[in-house]
Structure 1
Amino acid sequence: MCPDLRGYGKSSKPGDYSKRAMARDFVNLMQGLGHEEFAVVGHDRGAAAAIRLALDHPDRVTHLAVLDGLPIGAHLARADARFAQAWYHWFFLARQELAAAMINENPGLWYGGRYHDTPLAMGVENWADFQRAIHDPETVVAMCGDYRAGLEVDRHHDDEDLAAGRRITCPVLALWSAKDDLGELYGDLAAIWAEWADDVRVRSLDCGHHMAEEAPVELVRELRELF
């Protein structure tokens, strides 16, 4: 199963974009399909939801693969001037109403000019879906709501878990893109993951941010080794 996060794509937009709510969505979906336990793979914002799913529902998640992501609390605890400059969009998009109004005036301006947002990086079909989504005002509002939740309730949930010593207990594969900036910003990603998970393997792939499109063979090989 490869569901859209709530608010994204053609999914419903109920208003609560916390990763805890998204985790419940996934549990309900899989239970509805007859799966009480399952492995989870999440990329970028989906990675944050997947991490929360593993923390909130350890009895459901057998294996976790995180692609270009860390717990939101880990990101923000290390936010410095470099982070603010490189990932300024986290803070802009969290101003949900203002950010959505500005983006909806000219979606192409906000999303244009970056290689990883082109058909070459994403694939033609994925890029077409992406274009439809960013030109849907309700989807843009929902996307900004996701980032707002990240800086507010999601960070609070992560901080609570870290303080209480709650950890991810299933095997974790953390993959990061060598041509993206996660490793450059944080250095030793394995040390960060050691704060959150008992059994984790950290590796980089020689690709840009869209791993599934840019390095599908390598990604599948890593996932098969995990599962």
Structure 2
Amino acid sequence: MFNGMKLDMIDVGAGVLRVRHGGYGPPLLLLHGHPRTHMTWSRIADFLSPHFTVVCPDLRGFGKSFQPLDTSDSRNSSKRAKAEDCIELMRRLGYDRFAVAGHDRGSYVAFRLAMDHPDAVTKVAVIDSIPIIEHLERIDWRFARDWYHWFFFAEPEKPERAINADPMAWYSAIKPDLMGREAYADLMTAIHDPAVVHGMVEDYRAGLTVDRLHELQDRAEGKRVECPLLCLWSIRDDLEELFGDPREIWRSWAVDVQGRGIDSGHHVAEENPVDLANSLLRFFGSR
């Protein structure tokens, strides 16, 4: 797990991020989803680090990275704010240009990086996601039933109370046998910390407020991702079932889209790391 990689706490100006980094070759930033930390990438990093200099942070609000100050619109937990953290992180590691992959909530940060910083991002991979407003504009009863947490997490205080009352009940789908002992212990620390729970919920509140507005502005201005975009999705999750082929949706947001489904449940980096790592290696390793 993270063979030969360093674990650092790096000040990015707004606060301090916990970061695992190392390897050989061009820089590749990996961004985790909810409720994970950078530890979700442990097996992926070992596949990729012989070919890339891999950088895996805990996003602000998650894991052992800093907690931003609260605002009424959750803008300090926005994907734009998290993208700015990533830009500064990579600069402090010596990289002005890099590739990025994100899973779940981390894919929205990767998307925002590619939209806001086209001169910095060479390629982007989004895993198990479509843009936030594409979700919201396609809502049906199935989405309301199965993705209700998007809207519950938008409520003030109640989500934190529910999760903190029994974190293991809320996150009952976590499977330690798939994660590895060290990653599981790290995640247990995160979900039992009320400050981290709040930070993770604020990420969703930002999604329905400031992040949604940023995407609406992008669409109004005709902005698209200019670099190559890889869309991957877990075929035993429900993204394709709910919304159809994710590649078709991403083609409204990027000029060069490719992708495929992977035989996995939602946490693909843990459930099928070989297929995911090979997909990323082919995409980021090609010219």
Give the shorter-chain TM-score range: over 0.9
Question: After TM superposition, where is structure 1 displaced by more than 2 Å over at least 4 residues in a row?
Answer: 120-125
Separation (CA, whole Å) in 2 of partners of 1:201 and 1:226: 9
Please report how far the alpha carbon of residue 67 of structure 1 lies from its aligned counterpart in structure 2 after TM superposition.
1.0
SS in 2 for 1:202: strand
Residues 67-106 of structure 1 show CA distances to partners (whole Å, capped at 9, x for unaligned) of 1111112111212211111101111112142211221121
Match of 1:26 in 2: 86
Please report how far the alpha carbon of residue 182 of structure 1 lies from its aligned counterpart in structure 2 after TM superposition.
0.6
Please report how far the alpha carbon of residue 2 of structure 1 lies from its aligned counterpart in structure 2 after TM superposition.
0.3
Please report how far the alpha carbon of residue 9 of structure 1 lies from its aligned counterpart in structure 2 after TM superposition.
0.3
Separation (CA, whole Å) in 1 of partners of 2:179 and 2:266: 10
Select 2:179's aligned residue among 116, 122, 127: 122
Unaligned runs of 5+ in 1: none
Match of 1:218 in 2: 275
Q: Which amino acid aligns with 2:65?
A: S
Specify which structure has the higher proportion of strand. 2
Unaligned runs of 5+ in 2: 1-54, 70-75
Matches for 1:1-227 after TM superposition, within 5 Å = 1-15=55-69, 16-112=76-172, 114=173, 117-227=174-284
Residues 177-203 of structure 1 show CA distances to partners (whole Å, capped at 9, x for unaligned) of 011111111012122011101001121
Residues 155 and 101 of structure 1: is their aligned pair in 2 closer, same or farther, counting only changes over 3 Å? Answer: same
Separation (CA, whole Å) in 1 of partners of 2:209 and 2:164: 23
Separation (CA, whole Å) in 2 of partners of 1:80 and 1:129: 35
Q: Which amino acid aligns with 2:244?
A: G
SS in 1 for 2:126: strand
Specify which structure has the higher proportion of helix. 1
Please report how far the alpha carbon of residue 217 of structure 1 lies from its aligned counterpart in structure 2 after TM superposition.
1.4
* RMSD after superposition: 1.1
Greater Cα offset, 189-198 or 119-128? 119-128
Contact 1:96 1:145 in 2 (8 A): no
Percent sequence identity over aligned pairs: 54
Separation (CA, whole Å) in 2 of partners of 1:9 and 1:209: 20
SS in 2 for 1:147: helix
SS in 2 for 1:65: strand
Separation (CA, whole Å) in 2 of partners of 1:13 and 1:183: 33
SS in 2 for 1:8: coil
TM-score (norm 1): 0.95
SS in 2 for 1:2: strand
Please report how far the alpha carbon of residue 29 of structure 1 lies from its aligned counterpart in structure 2 after TM superposition.
0.3
Quick one: higher RCO (CA 8 Å, sep 6+), 1 or 2? 1
Separation (CA, whole Å) in 2 of partners of 1:205 and 1:125: 25
